[in-house]
Amino acid sequence: MSRKHRNRKSESKKHETKKSEHKGNKSKKNDNKEKKTSYNAWQRFQTFKLRGEWVELIFMAAAALYGFRVLKLWGDSHEYDVAIEYRGGFLRVQVKSASRRKGGGYLCRLRRGGSGEQSYNPNEVDLFAIYVLPAQAWYLIPTPFIFHPTPKKNLTFYPDGLPPRSGRHDNEHNYEPYREAWGLLRKSRSELNRRGHQR
């Protein structure tokens, strides 16, 4: 093989290597772009109502993937958004979202109504499904855990693993055991009540 032929072959390999690296970098950029688009999708909504409706759809789709029958109420005058049917029983689920930063966590206000000042009735909601938008993490929390022993007006979540500030949060405010706790949708109302009071 002549030196000229070997040089051409070497240059061809280098060109193929650069072309492959370029495709790889382009693929990584596209993946990162898709992740970023999905991550920031919730910021596109101009009102909290529109965002809330979108979060409800995400919850219903996720629950359906886990094999639950999902029932959506007509209108928005009820204290809960979605009903879950499982083995002949029903759970009333209120869907919320959180994106506002508070310290090292994300704050969720437990208010309803047009003014956002009405509190929820613990006798009309069995479980809260709260979606922390920036972390894309669901927290499914039984109502008794939120209202007992003292009703909570706000919840703060730490999906990034940042420790709560010393002296400010205890086991009563630790919601990580309820992260992605989809199995709770298989519980009855009485089972959720017992679980919530035991925490």
Per-residue pLDDT tens over the stretch 101-115: 887 889 999 987 655
Q: Is the pLDDT of residue 173 over 80?
A: no
88: confidence class by pLDDT, cuts 50, 70, 90: confident
Helix (H, G, I), strand (E, B) or coil at 113: coil
Q: Are 95 and 108 in contact (CB under 8 A)?
A: no
What angle (nearest 5°) sits at the alpha carbon of residue 130, between those of residues 156 and 176? 55
- Structure confidence at residue 33 (pLDDT): 47
Q: What is the pTM of this model?
A: 0.75
Q: Taking Cα atoms as reference points, which of 140, 168, 148, 171 lies closest to residue 66?
A: 140
Residue 184 clears pLDDT 90, i.e. is over it: yes
Alpha helical stretches, state H, the chain:
3-39, 48-65, 143-147, 189-198
φ/ψ region of 18 (left if φ > 0, alpha if ψ in -120 to 50, else beta) reads alpha
162-192 burial code (b ≥16 CB/10 A, e <16): eeeeeeebeeeeebeebbebeebbebeeeeb
Residue 118 to residue 151: CA distance in whole angstroms: 13
Residue range 116-170, pLDDT digits in tens: 567 888 899 999 999 999 999 999 999 999 988 888 889 999 988 766 565 555 5
DSSP result, 72-106: E-SSS-SS-SEEEEETTEEEEEEEEEE-EEETTEE
Taking all residues of the chain, what is their mean pLDDT, rounded to a whole number? Answer: 79
Predicted confidence at residue 18, as pLDDT, reads 53
Please tell me what DSSP assigns to residue 167. T
DSSP-based three-state secondary structure for 114: coil
User: For the segment 22-40, what is each residue's pLDDT rounded down to a tens digit?
Assistant: 555 555 555 454 444 455 7
